[in-house]
Structure 1
Amino acid sequence: MVLSVDELISNPNTASFWMKHAMALRLLNSVERLYSDLLRNYIKGVRPGVESNCSLNVNISLTVCALLNINSVEKTMAVSGFLTMFWRDERLKWNVTEYDGHSSLLIDPSLLWTPRIVLINPAKQFHMFGSYSTEVRVYFDGSMVWSAGDLMETNCKINIRYYPFDIQTCDISIAPWGYFESEVNQSTSFSTQFKDFPLGNDEWDLVKLTNVDWVSEGYKASNFTLRYKRKYQFVLINILSPIIVLNIINMAVFEIPPNSGERISFSVTVLLSYVVFLTIVMDNIPQTSSPVSLLSVLLMIQIILSACITMETVFIVKVSHRSPSIPISNWVVNLMHKTRKIQPEQETSAEPVENVLERVKLPEQKSRNASIESNDNVCSLNTGPSFTRSKKPTWEEVAACLDRIMFFIFLFVALLFEVLVIAFIFIYI
């Protein structure tokens, strides 16, 4: 069944459809008419504002979407983001009422004059922004809004001295290409500060984004400074914590008796653990020499300390196995005198008669007794009264005494080292 035109219009179900369709056609015709009127006499190569002989103000805003890479060896930073540019073109104005209230229009940037913005501190080569751009949003008062996204790889001075608690600062410098300040006045009145990257990053946190404008040789440029902080949790758990644990285990070698036969093997095992751990850690530490990371210095000090403990262990074992026929040097005996443990004197009663007779002995006998007492074992524990003489020291006792002295020296160095590391961690966390 075919309906006539009058029946279609009189039908309430189809009337609203035709009215909406007519309004859409009318709006479409107004957009096409507006598009045609704006670009009829428009010359793309002519910069806006030439008629008034003044510079064109172009405001830009940088939005950082994600940090892609930071190369500490090549000293480069790669981020993805987009520039949003604002300017005014007096040639693209219209009366809203003449075009059915249409207040904005999207126009392809290839048909309009757009700012030529270039990255002036690239890591590899210069390139213009606009390879990945949106259409230009044109408003009825001549205001223009255009966004151009791109991959920005710039030079960046990386300082890893305080790795993994380092804070890096990199710059993104942008300038209009081929225009003097008197022609295009670029400014960054629109800037954004992020607490983190919108798309996130597993290694870095963007702390701050600031901007500054500057003029060089008649050209106006804008500099965006990105300040970011490294996430230290991974390095703290997987590198610094094992270093502290290995340092504690390294001091346990002094609790093993020199004659047990396991002391040298234990110290060598700890030293090899440090070396193997260092090879693993070096894959994560940024490999650069300007400057050197303090973490690399920390690992090297730990290896040197462990090597010194291994050498001390070999020396103590050698001393403890020396032949008793080899005489002990006087400086060793004096050292044992200074480091011996003094026992408290016991309470004495009335002096025995034998002691009175002892005091009246001939001077020659007294001097001979004094020379015998000088060779007493000073590192052995005195269990009797203070006037009881000790045995002549053996090489095993000399080794034990020297081992105890070296233990306190290495313990002081290890504790000082641990305190410095922990203090450094708490300062930069």
Structure 2
Amino acid sequence: MANEICIIFMLLTISYCFCQTTDDKKKLFTELFINKSYNKQVRPKNDKDDAIRVTVDFEMSSIHELDEVAEKISVAGYLDVIWWDDQLVWDRATNNDIYYMLVLQDTVWKPDIVLKNGFHKFEELGGSFYYVRVKYDGRISWYPYHVFESQCSIDVTFYPFDDQTCHIIFTIWTYRYDEVEIDSKSKFEIDEYTENSLWAITSTSVQIQRIVGSSEIIFTINLRRKPTYYIVNIIIPLIFLGILNSLVFIIPADAGEKMSYSITVFLSFAVFLTIITAQLPVNSESTSILSIYIVIQLSYCILVLVVNSFQLRIHHRHEGIAKSKIFVFAVKLQRRMCCWRNKIQSETNEKGRINIEDRSAIENASPQKNHNEEAIKWRDVSSAIDFCAFWILIGTDLIITLIIFIHIGVDKSFI
């Protein structure tokens, strides 16, 4: 008995679902759009003093591109636009229980929503082949899909560890806010979003405002760059080049390769500066800290070229030319620093065993010491310049590198 009741119920349900025929919908369409003289150019509100409230939800599916040079963002998605049309209302009971119908978007009145901060000229949303869903109570749903290209101001200060904020602004172009107004219940949805390989979405927001008598909605996307690619291909090579720049002072002056080596490193930094500059917008409002770092490294390269030129000239000076005190001091400093560990070890081993013979040996060594000071050659001065310049350059380069990247990390934590 129970099975028979279920079968009867299913048959009744099927017959109910298929009771609406094409003729019924044609009749309803004729009634709404022809007999009632529907005019899509007239705002469909019975009370002309009331504004039509339009809900605009944005469902973003992907970020195609964020062009830093052109300061443009391209996103793909569709708008879920909902409003009520008082002229498209029917009684379900007298129309064979028709719940909704689909009509072409050019058949009905639509709010003239446009992308206000678009990168190109104004274009109508949707297309002639798009349909809208009309419900029996006048509720109309419209889903225009588009690739939206909008302007986006780029702040490259912390490139490539930067965060960017882009706005996609839609406005009701013709009607005033007291005629057509965007509903505050509008939402920004990313449920169907496909992750971008270079940018991660940190947050989104929606803001409704009135500008020059019109209602507009602002969809805000907060993005964070994924820096792995730039760390591997730009930052790490830059740090290695900075180390190589210091190694020029290890090459012997007689090798004849010091100047060519320095010029090669200089040109490598220039190439990296060109690569980074090509990826950044042309503006003076913000300057990339990474670009400043490369300029500092280029300055170091120029300083290295100057020091090498001076050092090679000293290396080939005639021994008859007198040496100034600063050169003698540089040679003594190099020798003391190189022999410092050996001297400490020797003093430790001989502690407590100094006798009169040792004292006489030390006294006899003093004239020899003076003789060694007088025997300093220009080659020794050249070697001392290499020694001092190497440690000064590599030390300051390490300090500057740490300061710059710590500055980026600390400043970003307060933003």
Q: If the TM-score is normalised by the length of the shorter chain, which range does it land in?
A: 0.7 to 0.9
Query: How far is the alpha carbon of 1:217 from its aligned partner?
Result: 3.0
What 5-or-longer segments of structure 1 have no aligned partner?
1-19, 359-368, 378-389
Following superposition, the deviation at residue 338 of structure 1 comes to: 5.6
Match of 1:216 in 2: 211
Residue number in structure 1 paired with 2:63 = 67
Residue in structure 1 matched with residue 388 of structure 2 by the alignment: 405
- The 1:143–1:220 alpha-carbon spacing in structure 2 relative to 1, beyond 3 Å, is same
CA distance in 1 between partners of 2:232 and 2:81 (Å): 44
Residue correspondence of structure 1 range 112-191 to structure 2 within 5 A? 112-131=108-127, 134-191=130-187
Cα deviation, residue 264, structure 1:
3.4
User: Which of 281, 286, 289 is the aligned partner of 2:280?
Assistant: 286
**Gap regions ≥5 residues in structure 2:** 1-13
Structure 1 Cα separation of the partners of residues 115 and 73 of structure 2? 13
- In the TM superposition, 1:278-317 aligns within 5 A as 278-283=273-278, 285-290=279-284, 291-317=286-312
Deviation at 1:90, TM superposition (A): 2.8
Of 221, 230, 237, which residue of structure 2 is paired with 1:242?
237
Secondary structure of the corresponding residue to residue 356 of structure 2: coil
Does the CA-based 8 Å contact 1:61-1:188 persist in structure 2?
Answer: no
Residues of 1 paired with 2:402 and 2:88: CA distance?
Answer: 69
In structure 1, C-alpha distance between the alignment counterparts of 2:172 and 2:325, rounded to whole Å: 84
Give the CA deviation at 1:203: 3.3
Matches for 1:334-345 after TM superposition, within 5 Å: 334-337=329-332, 340-341=335-336, 343=343
Say which SS state the counterpart of residue 45 (structure 1) adopts: coil
Structure 2 distance, partners of 1:219, 1:250, is 60
- TM-score, L = length of structure 1: 0.77
Aligned-pair CA distance for 1:35: 1.9
Counterpart pick for 2:399 among 398, 416, 420: 416
Q: CA deviation at 1:339?
A: 5.8
> Structure 2 counterpart of 1:37, which letter?
E
Q: Distance in 1 between matches of 2:149 and 2:359?
A: 99
Report 1:4-43 matches (<5 A): 27-39=21-33, 40-41=35-36, 42-43=38-39
**Given that residues 193 and 210 in structure 1 are in contact (C-alpha distance below 8 angstroms), is that contact kept between their aligned partners in structure 2?**
no
Aligned to 1:192: 188
Deviation at 1:423, TM superposition (A): 3.8
Residues paired across the two proteins, number: 384
State the Cα distance separating 1:328 from its structure 2 match.
Answer: 0.9
Give the letter aligned to residue 215 of structure 1: R
Return the alpha-carbon distance in structure 1 between the equivalents of residues 16 and 359 of structure 2: 139
Contact kept? 1:194, 1:208, Cα under 8 Å = no
Question: Contact (CA 8 Å) 1:122, 1:154: kept in 2 or not?
Answer: yes
Which position in structure 2 is the counterpart of 1:267? 262
The reply on whether 1:332 has 2:338 as its aligned counterpart is no
**Following the alignment from structure 2 to structure 1, what is the Cα–Cα distance between the partners of residues 370 and 321?**
15
**Aligned with residue 109 of structure 1, among 100, 105, 113:** 105
**2:73 maps to what in 1?**
77
Instruction: Provide closer, same or farther for how the CA distance between residues 326 and 191 of structure 1 changes in structure 2, counting only shifts above 3 A.
Output: same
Q: Is the 8 A contact 2:45 2:87 kept in 1?
A: no
**2:5 — aligned with what?**
none
Aligned residue type for 1:232: P
Distance 2:131 2:332 in 1: 91
Matched, 1:227 2:210: no
Residues 89-116 of structure 1: CA deviation (Å, up to 9, x unaligned): 2332223233333211112222222111
Is the contact made by 1:133 and 1:149 (CA closer than 8 Å) also made in structure 2? no
In the superposition, the TM-score normalised over structure 2's length comes to: 0.80
Closer/same/farther in 2, CA of residues 148 and 115 from structure 1, 3 Å limit: same
**SS at 2:88 equivalent:** strand
User: What is the CA distance between 1:233 and its match in structure 2?
Assistant: 2.2
User: Hey, what does 2:356 align to over in structure 1?
Assistant: 350
153 and 265 in structure 1: CA distance in 2 versus 1, 3 angstrom threshold: closer
Compared CA separation, residues 302 and 148, structure 1 to 2 (3 A): same
1:235-293, Cα deviation, whole Å (9 max, x unpaired): 2211112112222222222222323333334333333333344445544x224233232
1:163-183 Cα distance to aligned partner (Å, 9 max, x none):
222222121221212212221
8 A Cα contact 1:131 1:150, kept in partner:
no
Q: CA RMSD in A?
A: 3.4
Contact 1:119-1:128 at 8 Å conserved across structures: no
Measure, in 1, the Cα distance between the counterparts of 2:266 and 2:371: 38
Counterpart contact for 1:376–1:393, Cα < 8 Å: no
Q: Specify the structure having the higher radius of gyration (Cα).
A: 1
Which digits, 9 at most, give the CA deviation of each residue in 1:40-63, with x for residues without a partner?
Answer: 213323323233631111111122
Task: State whether residues 132 and 148 of structure 1, in contact with CA within 8 Å, keep that contact through their aligned partners in structure 2.
Answer: no
Is the contact made by 2:311 and 2:382 (CA closer than 8 Å) also made in structure 1? yes
Counterparts of 1:352 and 1:82, CA distance in 2: 94
Q: Structure 1 residues 393 and 70, CA, compared in 2 at 3 Å: closer, same or farther?
A: same
